[in-house]
Amino acid sequence: MWPFGRRARPGLTQEQLEIQRAIRLGQFEKAERLLQAILEQKPEDPWARNKTAVVWILTGRVQAAQALLEDLLADCPDYAPAWVNRGNLAFERNDLEEAQACYEKALELDPHSSAAHNNLAAVYKRQGNIQAMVRHLKEANRARIRYEP
């Protein structure tokens, strides 16, 4: 449920790409250090706060990550990636209703979110709704193609 695609969305800075690469390679201390540097300059940066939550989840600090995501969504309720990650935490707890609601909110905000489509497909699979699962897997693939160079 914590996919890290090989292709970056357009508009990411070199610093953000470096952080994503560090996360993908399991270099969590490096990623967290770089994220802290961003947050020292821009404490409200939603991208950095969201990625910090991801690092915390991947390093076992799930409760802290949950709290950070809740704070982020209180400040930036229209930030789709945080809804995806909140959904991921719900999915991990097997709270499929909450996960589905989070992924649907993410898709309302960003209809081209491949992560939200893919993860919603996983929810539908667990629920036995194969038709909806296939539909969202197709949408996830379409969304990924949009970002290929």
Q: Report the CATH number that the domain containing residue 96 is assigned in CATH.
A: 1.25.40.10
Neighbours of 4 (CB within 10 A): 12
Does residue 100 lie in a domain region? yes
Give me the number of domains the chain comprises.
2
Domain with 50, as residue range(s), is 13-76
pTM: 0.87
Does residue 91 lie in a domain region? yes
Hey, is 50 helix, strand or coil?
helix
Per-residue pLDDT in tens (0 to 9) along the chain, 149 residues: 544 444 445 688 999 999 999 999 999 999 999 999 999 999 999 999 999 999 999 999 999 999 999 999 999 999 999 999 999 999 999 999 999 999 999 999 999 999 999 999 999 999 999 999 999 999 988 887 765 43
What CATH number is associated with residue 40?
1.25.40
* Shared-domain flag, residues 100 and 70: no
Handedness of CA 78, 61, 39, 1 (dihedral sign): negative
Q: How far is CA 48 from CA 65, 69, 82, 110, in A?
A: 12, 11, 11, 18
